[in-house]
Amino acid sequence: MENKTSKYFKYAIGEIILVVIGILIALQINNWNELRKANVVEQNALHNIHRDFIKNKAILEEVKTNTLTIVSSGIQILNHTGVKSKPDSETNFNQLLNKLYNSSPYYPQNGFLDDLLSSGKLGIFKNEELRNLLSSWKPEVDILEERFSSLDYAEDILNTFILEHGSWLNADQIPDQGRNVEFPKSGFTVDNRGMLDALLFENLIENLTIAADNYYTAQQKAEKLLVEITKLLENEIEKSID
């Protein structure tokens, strides 16, 4: 009886061990599957956001170019205000006036990232630095929006001055503006260069130029963050290939 009990006891222990081993193997397989699924989800997100940020960089480059045009034109106009020499022709001056209205808002493609942020699923990325940088992207875009609003407001104020003291018909005589209509000349005897003698005009141009420069500075900061994020995304994507 003692031998039978001992054998049964050993058999039972063996069965328990086999069951535990089976459970552990099943758990390990399940963990592998979950990890594989998580990696697939992460890689899909990495590729989607990387695609969006490549597009966002191209969009930002165009916005930067337009903003620099405003800054350059504003400085050139300020070189002719008051007692300083006037542009050789009204046409040259009108070209500078038109370039002041070259501002463009920055509308990045953030759809996929916004979905992750709103759903609290940014944790799918294992790289903590990447998570932190992605979280700081939207606040940076908000700053760009604020800077553009300031620039747009400065353009509106200047436009009010030009409406009262200058001629947009004269300014719109500039060829190659991509318009579908050809405007006639103004019915009034006016030379837009006359606005250069007004101190208010000089101040408005200076304020507009400052607003454009502030917008450009914010664009540079956003571009730096964008480049950092893009590099991290590419590094994480390459890890999966290796």
The candidate with the shortest Cα–Cα distance to 191, out of 209, 156, 166, 173, is 166
Using the predicted structure, report yes or no on whether residue 155 has a pLDDT greater than 60: yes
Using the predicted structure, report yes or no on whether residue 209 has a pLDDT greater than 60: yes
Using the predicted structure, report yes or no on whether residue 201 has a pLDDT greater than 80: yes
Residues 165/195, Cβ–Cβ less than 8 Å: yes
The type of residue at 222 is: A
Give the rounded distance of the alpha carbon of 78 from its chain centre. 30
Specify the 3-state DSSP secondary structure of 184. coil
The token pair at 151 is 């620039």
pLDDT for 53-99, tens place per residue?
Answer: 999 999 999 999 999 999 999 999 999 999 999 999 999 999 999 99
What pLDDT score was predicted for residue 203? 98
Q: Considering the chain, what is the average pLDDT of its residues?
A: 89
Using the predicted structure, report yes or no on whether residue 238 has a pLDDT greater than 80: yes
The candidate with the shortest Cα–Cα distance to 68, out of 213, 203, 206, is 213
The whole-number average pLDDT for the span 100-119 is 92
In this structure, how many other beta carbons lie within 10 angstroms of the beta carbon of residue 162? 18
Using the predicted structure, report yes or no on whether residue 45 has a pLDDT greater than 80: yes
The token pair at 137 is 């992207």
Determine what percent of the chain is predicted with pLDDT higher than 90: 65
In this structure, how many other beta carbons lie within 10 angstroms of the beta carbon of residue 140? 18
Largest distance between two CA atoms of the chain: 126
Distance from C-alpha of 173 to C-alpha of 170, rounded to nearest angstrom:
5
The whole-number average pLDDT for the span 123-143 is 94
What pLDDT score was predicted for residue 30? 67
Distance from C-alpha of 148 to C-alpha of 138, rounded to nearest angstrom:
15
Which backbone phi and psi does 144 adopt, to 5 degrees?
Answer: -60, -40
Specify the 3-state DSSP secondary structure of 109. coil
What pLDDT score was predicted for residue 38? 67
What pLDDT score was predicted for residue 28? 75
The candidate with the shortest Cα–Cα distance to 52, out of 233, 240, 241, is 233
Angle at which helix 2-78 crosses helix 90-99, to 10 degrees, equals: 160
The type of residue at 145 is: E
Q: Label residue 1 by pLDDT band (50, 70, 90).
A: low
pLDDT for 30-40, tens place per residue?
Answer: 677 766 776 78
The whole-number average pLDDT for the span 149-166 is 97
Using the predicted structure, report yes or no on whether residue 2 has a pLDDT greater than 60: no
Residues 223/60, Cβ–Cβ less than 8 Å: yes
Q: Label residue 184 by pLDDT band (50, 70, 90).
A: confident
What are the domain boundaries of the chain? Answer: 2-241
